[in-house]
Amino acid sequence: METVKIEKIVNRGYGLGRLKDGKVVFVEGAYPGEEVIVRLTLQKSDHAFAEVVSVVNGSEDRVKPRCKYFRNCGGCHWMDLKYEKQLEYKREVLKDLFTREKINVEIPPVEGSDLAFHYRTKMEFHFEGEKLGLRKRNSNVVVDVRRCEISPEPFNEVLEVVRDAVKVLKIPIYDWEERAGVLKHLVLRYAFSTDQLMVIFVTKTENFPWGKELKQALLRKIPGIHSIVHVMNSKDSVVLRGPYRTIHGEGVITEEFDWEKFQIPPTAFFQSNYSITAKLMRHVFEELQLKGNEFVLDLYAGVGTFSIRISYQCQRVIAVESSKVAVKAAKANANINGRRNVEAVEGDVLAFLKSYDGRADKVVLDPPRGGAGKEVMRELLRLSPERIVYVSCDPPTLIRDLKVLLEGGYSLVSLKAFDMFPHTYHIETVATLAREVS
Ligand SMILES: C[S@@+](CC[C@H](N)C(=O)[O-])C[C@H]1O[C@@H](n2cnc3c(N)ncnc32)[C@H](O)[C@@H]1O
């Protein structure tokens, strides 16, 4: 054990300090200016990771975490830090990452979430033995969670009912080591604008004869549940994938924004924070600077979250998305919103771009955490759109991809972060690039 002074906050929420021998140490749960006693958790040749054993000199920005599972559960990382400070630290992390890569850009304050608690539109809970909850950080061990402070209140009610019903009905829980059993996850989705709640049971097996009883148990206690769905997912690496059947209700929930309505099916991606999504949609739209005559590519389009808004101000939107379920929803959403100039294409973005030689006047892309990748960036350079708006949930992969565009004749005209995930270290960033005039 050693005492470490924390110099700054870095990516993935670590406090950076130095061990006695000068080696850099990344400390979980420690903040700038603090002096903490740490226990090393991982040693590498040039750096180490550690956790806090006790705080010698604590930051004034610490607060009492609302959640009793905090630090044990891996869902949140900064719940013991004032919300305003979380926003400041996210900005500092971005500044640090961009400065290190010598990318010069103004980074305005991070746009905060209207709700700092109970903001999640979706939560993935896991079953393990008698436990139902969230996983510890960097681990598969489940923490039995009876109340989650970032979940909307109805999720906490569902957790209680399902926990009891599963026990009474003696539903076999999936054993992750033996690879035997049935029930793996409970996924909950909530549409904030319409107050619609969806309960999703994810099983290993196709056979799930408890649907009727679970529906009865749930509706008796929470009559307002909008949809109950059973997803059959034999893969252990992803939570929400595979064929599904609706046990109760419509099987899709609807979210509404200023201009548009979206139907969200159980297994399609949708942004995790409603108020931030509204701000994000507005920002993406503004950053594209549409004139009305453009062909716009919306890459990694999901259910058409950005496409619909964009379509009001351009000639055509081509929305490219690999999930069949999401593409079907994107087509339905274009129809529901009366947008005839949105074409939803099912496919891999890279494969699509490689064979695309049509117009791409402007591009918006919002890839998963791994980023779009250098090959996708090279295809964008070939298509040479006037503006590119890159929405990212992982700054390092964003920077990796931006460097290809910056070397290829684009300049970074703005960078703005949105707090999609309060109490976590995750940062949602939008980078706007413009083609340099030669
Ligand atoms: C971060 S989400 C963004 C979705 C959408 N833009 C939104 O705001 O709701 C990323 C999306 O990319 C899709 N996706 C992942 N890899 C893909 C690929 N290689 N090609 C096309 N789509 C992909 C996922 O299914 C998911 O819907």
* pLDDT value at 26 more than 80: yes
To the question of pTM greater than 0.95 for the whole model, the response is yes
137 — pLDDT class (breaks 50, 70, 90): confident
Q: What is the pLDDT of residue 437?
A: 82
Number of C-beta neighbours around residue 428 at 10 A: 25
Q: 4 falls in which pLDDT band (50, 70, 90)?
A: very high
Atom of ligand 1 nearest to the CA of 298: 6
Across 41-59, average pLDDT = 95
Atom 18 in ligand 1: residue holding the nearest Cα: 348
Show the tokens assigned to 12: 């993935």
Dihedral, 327, 330, 336, 339 alpha carbons, nearest 10:
-120
Residue 260's pLDDT is 95
Distance 284 CA to ligand 1 centre (A): 16
Between CA 187 and CA 201 the distance in angstroms is 7
Pocket probe for ligand 1: among 121, 269, 327, the residue whose CB has the most ligand atoms within 8 Å is 269
Nearest CA to ligand 1 atom 27: 302
239 pLDDT more than 90: yes
Q: Where are the domains of the chain?
A: 1-60, 122-256, 271-435
Which CATH architecture group holds 271-435? 3-Layer(aba) Sandwich (3.40)
429 CA from centroid of ligand 1 (Å): 16
Residue nearest to atom 25 of ligand 1 (CA): 323
- Predicted confidence (pLDDT) per residue in 356-407, tens digit: 999 999 999 999 999 999 999 999 999 999 999 999 999 999 999 999 999 9
Which residues surround ligand 1 with Cβ inside 6 Å?
269-271, 300-302, 305-306, 320-323, 326, 348-349, 366-368
**1-60 domain in CATH 2.40.50.140?**
yes
Angle in degrees, CA 352, 358, 364, rounded to 5: 65
Residue pLDDT, tens place only, 324-350: 999 999 999 999 999 999 999 999 999
For 144-190, write each residue's pLDDT tens digit.
999 999 999 999 999 999 999 999 999 999 998 899 999 999 999 99
Q: How far is it between the farthest Cα atoms of the chain?
A: 71
Mean per-residue pLDDT over the chain, rounded = 97
State the helix-helix crossing angle for 395-407 and 83-100, rounded to 10 degrees: 40
Instruction: Find the catalytic residue in 76, 148, 314, 393.
Output: 393
Taking the C-alpha atoms of residue 179 and residue 407, their distance in angstroms, rounded to an integer, is: 48
Asked if domains 1-60 and 122-256 share a fold, the reply is yes
pLDDT value for 219 = 98
Per-residue confidence (pLDDT) for residue 109, from 0 to 100: 98
Residue 263 token pair: 């139907």
Question: Ligand 1 pocket: which of 285, 321, 429 to mutate (most atoms <8 Å of CB)?
Answer: 321
Closest atom of ligand 1 to 364 CA is: 6
Which fold would CATH assign to domain 122-256? OB fold (Dihydrolipoamide Acetyltransferase, E2P) (2.40.50)
393 counts as catalytic: yes
- Confidence tier at 138 by pLDDT (50, 70, 90): confident
- The pLDDT value recorded for residue 30 is 97
Report the separation in Å between the CA atom of 232 and the middle of ligand 1, taken as the mean of its atom positions: 21
Cβ contact 385:406 at 8 Å: no
Give me ligand 1 centre to Cα 288, in Å: 19
Section 408-427 average pLDDT: 98
pLDDT tens-digit profile of 258-282? Answer: 989 999 999 999 999 999 999 999 9
pLDDT (0 to 100) of residue 173: 97
CA of 165 to the centre of ligand 1 (A): 35
Atom index in ligand 1 nearest the CA of residue 367 equals 10
Question: What is the SS3 assignment for the chain?
Answer: CEEEEEEEECHHHCEEEECCCCCEEEEECCCCCCEEEEEEEEECCCEEEEEEEEEEECCCCECCCCCCCECCECCCCCCCECHHHHHHHHHHHHHHHHHHCCCCCCCCCCECCCCCCCCECEEEEEEECCEEEEECCCCCCEEECCCCCCCCHHHHHHHHHHHHHHHHCCCCECECCCCECCEEEEEEEEECCCCEEEEEEEECCCCCCCHHHHHHHHHHHCCCCCEEEEEECCCCCCCCCCCEEEEEECCCEEEECCCCEEEECCCCCCCCEHHHHHHHHHHHHHHHCCCCCCEEEEECCCCCCCHHHHHCCCCEEEEEECCHHHHHHHHHHHHHCCCCCEEEEECCHHHHHHHCCCCCCEEEECCCCCCCCHHHHHHHHHHCCCEEEEEECCHHHHHHHHHHHHHCCEEEEEEEEECCCCCCCCCEEEEEEEECCC
Instruction: Give the pLDDT band of residue 23 (cuts 50, 70, 90).
Output: very high
Residue nearest (by alpha carbon) to ligand 1 atom 6: 301
In the predicted structure, residue 433 carries a pLDDT above the cut 90: yes
* pLDDT higher than threshold 90 for residue 126: yes
CA angle 134, 200, 256 (to 5 degrees): 100
**CA 303 – ligand 1 centroid, Å:** 9
Assess contact for 94 and 107: CB atoms under 8 A: yes
User: What confidence score (pLDDT) does residue 284 get?
Assistant: 98
b/e map of 361-396 (b: 16 or more CB within 10 Å)?
A: bbbbbbbeeebbbeebbebbbebebbbbbbbbbbbe
Q: Whose CA is nearest to atom 11 of ligand 1?
A: 300
